[in-house]
């Protein structure tokens, strides 16, 4: 069993938390809400995930700051994200690179989005992440755990 922690930020519609909960279901996994907890010893984990919605093309600053302060050198990591449109993991990849982390992979899917003008049309990505997205996330996690 791979000892795993996921550091996450999820707000608005809880899209990212749905992914995190899907991975944690039935597993002994530590979940760390980066908006509530600023520090943790990540050295005890074999694998550390960072999960966030995409805000202005980037992971949430709480997750990025947490990784900068707490991620040990050379740790094996993975990324989860929800986004209205596109893959945007560069911000967290940059932080991981600064820590010489080994990136096991990234999983992203659409999330319900009512930011800015999208609110006027009832949002985009309604119903996402859906059960197919959650199952895809579970399969992704199984692959990176080997």
Q: What is the pLDDT of residues 133-144, one digit of tens each?
A: 899 999 999 999
Q: Is the distance from CB of 77 to CB of 106 less than 8 angstroms? A: no
Helices (runs of H) and strands (runs of E) counted in the chain? 4, 6
Domain spanning 4-145: which CATH class is it, in words? alpha beta
> Given this model, what pLDDT does residue 56 score?
74
Cα(51)–Cα(37) distance, integer angstroms: 14
pTM flag (> 0.85):
yes
- The rounded distance, in Å, linking the Cα atoms of 145 and 138 is 11
Distance separating alpha carbons of residues 19 and 90, to the nearest angstrom = 20
> Cis bond leading into 18, ω under 30°?
no
Stated length of the chain: 146
Tell me the C-alpha distance between 138 and 37, whole Å: 25
Nearest in space to 34 (alpha carbons), one of 46, 121, 55: 55
Helix, strand, or coil here: 118?
Answer: helix
* Domain ranges (residues) in the chain: 4-145
pLDDT over 70 at 112, yes or no:
no
Instruction: Return the percentage of the chain with pLDDT > 90, whole number.
Output: 60
The mean pLDDT value for 102-111 works out to 86
For 63-78, what is the mean pLDDT?
97
């Amino acid at each position: 069993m791979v000892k795993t922690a996921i550091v996450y930020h999820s707000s608005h519609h809880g899209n990212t938390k749905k992914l995190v909960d899907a991975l944690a279901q039935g597993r002994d996994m530590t979940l760390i809400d980066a908006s509530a907890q600023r520090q943790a010893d990540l050295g005890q984990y074999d694998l550390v995930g960072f999960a966030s919605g995409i805000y202005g093309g980037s992971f949430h600053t709480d997750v990025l700051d947490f990784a900068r302060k707490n991620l040990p050198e050379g740790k094996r990591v993975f990324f989860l994200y929800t986004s209205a449109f596109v893959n945007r993991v560069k911000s967290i990849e940059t932080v991981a690179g600064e820590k010489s982390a080994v990136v096991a992979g990234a999983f992203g899917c659409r999330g319900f989005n009512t930011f800015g003008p999208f609110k006027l049309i009832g949002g985009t990505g309604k119903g996402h992440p859906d059960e197919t997205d959650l199952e895809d996330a579970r399969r992704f996690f199984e692959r990176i755990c080997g």
